[in-house]
Amino acid sequence: MIYKKNINIVKKIEKLMKSIEGLQAVYEDYRELRTFYDSVEWQSLYKETTENNRLDVLDENQLFDLIGQHNDCLGDLLELSATMYKEI
């Protein structure tokens, strides 16, 4: 039973590492997205958006939610990292 539990933990850690790699891979895209949504170009495109002419741009609420989720994720990772380092 202990052997199975150890294998399960190893698989979970491997899955976690792949998730972290995925986060690292998309982080630059996230930074570019935030830069775009802080630009005059976004403001111009957003003003042009109408019900009949939907552009592929996030509205202010969607962007706010995305940034909030990102910040929550960072907070969770920092808290977990601190806990894990204390146990080393």
Look at the chain and report how many structural domains it folds into.
1
Let me know if residue 14 belongs to a domain: no
Let me know if residue 18 belongs to a domain: no
The 10s digit of each residue's pLDDT in 32-82 is 988 988 889 888 877 777 655 666 677 778 889 999 999 999 999 999 999
Of 44, 37, 11, 78, nearest in space to 86 by CA: 78
Is the C-alpha dihedral spanning 40, 53, 60, 71 positive or negative? negative
Please tell me whether residue 32 adopts helix, strand or coil conformation: helix
Let me know if residue 57 belongs to a domain: yes
Domain of 50 in residue numbering reads as 37-86
Residue bearing tokens 């630009």: 39
Let me know if residue 70 belongs to a domain: yes
Let me know if residue 5 belongs to a domain: no
- The pLDDT of residue 20 is 93
CA separation, residue 54 to residues 49, 51, 63 (Å): 5, 6, 16
Determine contact, residues 70/30, Cβ cutoff 8 Å. Answer: yes
